Amino acid sequence: ARQATIFAARGPGRTADGRPIPLLANIGNPGELDDAVRAGAEGVGLYRTEFLFLGRAEPPSAEEQRRAYRAALDAFPGGRVIVRTLDSGADKPLEFLPGPAAEPNPALGERGLRRARRFPAVMEAQLGALAAMESERLAVMAPMVATPEEAGWFAEECRSRGLRDVGVMIEIPSAALRAADLISQVDFVSVGTNDLAQYAFAADRQLASMSALNDPWQPALLDLVAMTAAAASEAGRPCGICGEAAADPALACVLVGLGASTLSMGAAALPAVRAALAAHTTEQCDEAAEAARAQVTAAEAQAAARARLPGLA
Ligand code: PEP
Ligand code: MG
C-alpha cells in the first residue's frame, strides 16, 4: 500500500484501472522547468515561448532560441516537449515588429498564428531553431488556429523543415466544431480551455467580472472539449488539454472521461491531479463526464461530477 501511495505521488499519471494519462507541465519560462521536474511531470505539454520575444528591441538569436528549447528537452530525458510557436497579439506588441493599427478588440484581432502569417520571418526563424534540435521528442504546435486551412498551412511550414510531430491548439470554437477537418491536417491537437471559454462565451478572460462565464465547468465548454476529443479519437490521434481546466483534480477526471489523452498544467497542480486520477477508474471518469454534461449550469455540472468521484481528497 505504501508503494502504491508513493507511485501515486511520483509516478506517471494513470487511472485506478491503469489507463495511462501522461501528466505534462505548462511552462512559461525556463525557470519553471525545475519545478515541473520536481513535481514529477512526464514532459512539457505547453511551452509558452512568448518569454523569448516580448519586451525586446531585437528578436532572439537562433542560438538563444536553441538554448531554450534544448533546456526543456534536457530537463525531461525521454519525455515529450511540446513547444508552442509565438502567441503574440495586439495586446502584447513585439517591439521589433511593426504592429497592426490599433485594434478595438485585440483578442479578436491579429493574434497567434494570424500574426505569424502576416510576418512569417519570426515563425520561420522559430521553426528553424526547433528543427535544429533534431529531436523526435520535440513537438510543435500553433496557437489561435481557426480553420483547417490554417492548420494545413502550419503543418506544411513545419514538415518542410523536417519537424515530424505537429499539432494545433483548439482554442477557438470554430476549430472545435470542425475538429475532424483540423485533425486530418496534423498529428495531434491540444485544447486550450482558457481561450476556448473566452471565445465560446464572448467573455474576456482578463476581466474578473466575466469569471462566471469563463468557469471551465460550463457545460457548453465541456461539450466543445467532448466534440474535439471524439474527433481525435475517431482519427486515432491524441487530444491533450493544456488550459487551466486540467489543473482542477475533479475536472481533470471529467476531461479524461470526455476523451482527453494527456493533461498539461502548472507544476503546482500536478500532485493533486495525479492523486485524483489514481483514485478513480476510467468508468468513473466516463460517468462523471456524462453526468456533468447532462447538467445546465456550471455549478450543477461540478456537483454532479463530484458526486461520482468519491475518491477526491
Ligand atoms: C489556453 O488558451 O487555454 C492556453 C493554454 O493558452 P494561453 O493560456 O497561453 O492563451
Ligand atoms: Mg490560448
Tens digits of per-residue pLDDT, 217-257? 999 999 999 999 999 999 999 999 999 999 999 999 999 99
Q: How confident is the model at residue 9 (pLDDT cuts 50, 70, 90)?
A: low
- CA–CA gap between residue 89 and residue 115 (Å, rounded): 7
Nearest-atom number in ligand 1 for the CA of 195 is 2
Mean pLDDT of 31-38: 97
Ion ligand 2 neighbours, Cβ < 5 Å: 171, 192, 195
Task: Say which ligand is closest to the CA of 50.
Answer: 1
According to the annotation, is 50 in a ligand binding site?
Answer: no
Which residue's C-alpha comes closest to atom 8 of ligand 1?
194
**pLDDT surpassing 60 at residue 1:** no
Global confidence as pTM: 0.96
Q: Give the ligand with the smallest distance to the CA of 240.
A: 1
Ligand 1 atom closest to Cα of residue 243? 3
In the chain, the amino acid numbered 228 is: T
ipTM for the assembly: 0.99
Q: Which pairs from 93-98 meet CB under 8 Å and 24+ separation?
A: 94/53, 94/54, 94/56, 94/122, 95/55, 95/56, 95/57, 96/56, 96/57, 96/58, 96/59, 97/122
Report the distance separating Cα 162 and Cα 140, nearest Å. Answer: 11
